[in-house]
Amino acid sequence: MAYKLKEFPNVKNIYRNLSVASLYEHSLKWPNVKLTSTGALSILTGEKTGRSPDAKRIVLSENYTEDLWWSEGTPNIPMSNESYQINKNLGINYLNSLQQLYIFDGYIGWDLEYRKTIRIISSKPYHLLFCKNMLIEANNNELLNFNPEYTMINAGAFSTSPLLNDLTSSSLIAFHFENKEILILGTEYTGEIKKSIFSLMHYLMTLENVLTLHSSVNVGPKGPSIFFGLSGTGKTTLSSDPNMSLIGDDEHCWTDKGLFNIEGGCYAKCLNLNKEKEPDIFNAISYGAVLENIILDEESRVVDYKDDSITQNTRVSYSINKINNTIIPCVCPHPVNIILLTCDSFGLLPLVSKLSLNQALYYFISGFTTKMAGTEQGIDTPISTFSSCFGGAFLTWHPWIYALLLKEKMEKHNTQAWLVNTGWVGEKTKQRVDINISRKIITEINNGNLINNEFDSTPIFNLLIPKKCGDIESNLLNPEFNWSNKKKYINELKKLAKSFQDNMSKLNQDNVFIDVINEGPQLPVE
């Protein structure tokens, strides 16, 4: 049945909530789309193969402007309403010039009390297939009277002019919270759809005293665990464990009732994907899944997951229903454990450390990791970075607001935090820690085997290292044992500690959270 939108009177065909099969038929007409040997769809996203964080803008309004996180260096850059309207009109005019458009009507979040309704409008059918994977689709009865509260206008194939916005590129991801709109121009990378919605939830949920988390969540024998971490730290891989029940792989909210997944699917990195090490992800790449920027054999259509000739940020989106041990609906009780994942390329942090409450807040607000290649435009080699709350690019309020919400919930529900390094350990280590070792650590945490362990303490950082962790070699647990030159090890620790302190000084300029600061790394007085 034909669908009409008053903003697009010239568009001949507007398709709403098409089936997967129909979206396949529409998508395969595009030259950048192919069918793979496993039945998944393969797409190319054009020039942009990663997020464009410098293109994010928030429209100014007297109703909320003063309270947002506007400090220098934050991800939130103000935009005038006039500039927004100019760009919105450009995007709508572009979409109105097309023969067909696609609409997704559905929900953000699995908790019926907190979920939000959204409409996504795009010119590309495979963008809507991505939305079917990553959000919760409204059913036929719900569609009869569906009235979306929020709208995303995705005119990503149309590039804006930097002269209109003081932008550094032709891309724009703009949030107009007052109008309840998101506008995307100049990028067809599907990750922008996902992360724009995540930023929206960071704004909305905080107003309801709900904590939005860049995390994965699974449920083990002792209860749920939250995994914090930036892209490439192992959230998706480590939470997709056949022995655990999955709630979600990337975006969650913590309410007074427990945890819920914001999304309806998973968005996993594909580079060097291995069936034996990541069977859940590998097997999920089937009919309905959308692969991005991968290379496949032209004859057999078999994907080469080792090929990074387009980008190192090869991705796949798939419905969470493809994971056999998923809990549906994706909600669960309060967490027993919080696991802060970091990828330390310096080999200084332990594989696993038990954290006090204030240490957990310190490392949460620091969000230290190594930014992995390919996750953003222009990132080709690993870079040490700090991203507040392990998701600084998506925050709208000051990081301490999220940290204080975390403190409140951890205290109330007696949640234990752990720091887990999925990167390198020690100077001698030439390769990243094997994913199976990281899995063993997570299993020990989830089974409750580490909580009453005996612990050693690291210098400067004062992190508690368990003396035993299953059958993992004990020498591997302590990074100091993997440095041949102890003096060099201490000097490198001091450098890392100084970078932590410098980062924290930017976030705590009023010096008011002394208890938390004092449990971060402490440089010796010399």
From the list 236, 255, 319, 375, the catalytic residue is 236
Dihedrals φ, ψ of 418, to 5°?
-135, 145
250 is known as an active-site residue: yes
486 is known as an active-site residue: no
Quote the CA–CA distance of 510 and 72 in Å, as a whole number. 15
Contact 130, 282 (CB under 8 A): no
Cα distances from 371 to residues 49, 64, 148, 187, 376, in angstroms, run 16, 31, 36, 21, 9
384 is known as an active-site residue: no
From the list 42, 187, 196, 231, the catalytic residue is 231
From the list 119, 315, 354, 407, the catalytic residue is 315
Question: Got the DSSP string for 270-296?
Answer: -TT--TTT-HHHHHH-STT-EEES-EE
What is the largest distance, in Å, between two alpha-carbon atoms of the chain? 76
214 is known as an active-site residue: yes
Orientation angle between helical segments 191-206 and 125-134, nearest 10 degrees = 40
344 is known as an active-site residue: no
Terminal Cα distance for the chain, rounded = 76
315 is known as an active-site residue: yes
314 is known as an active-site residue: no
From the list 57, 176, 214, 334, the catalytic residue is 214
CA nearest 51: which of 191, 165, 156, 196?
A: 191
Task: Find where tokens 């949030």 sit.
Answer: 175
Q: DSSP state, 326?
A: B
Contact 56, 77 (CB under 8 A): yes
CA nearest 204: which of 226, 178, 228, 230?
A: 178
From the list 48, 119, 176, 195, the catalytic residue is 195
Task: Find where tokens 């003081």 sit.
Answer: 166
Quote the CA–CA distance of 20 and 14 in Å, as a whole number. 16
301 is known as an active-site residue: no
From the list 34, 48, 119, 235, the catalytic residue is 235
From the list 105, 111, 250, 280, the catalytic residue is 250
Quote the CA–CA distance of 58 and 70 in Å, as a whole number. 10
Cβ neighbours of residue 151 under 8 Å, at least 6 residues apart? 118, 119, 120, 121, 180, 181, 182
Q: Give catalytic residue positions.
A: 51, 195, 214, 231, 235-236, 250, 315
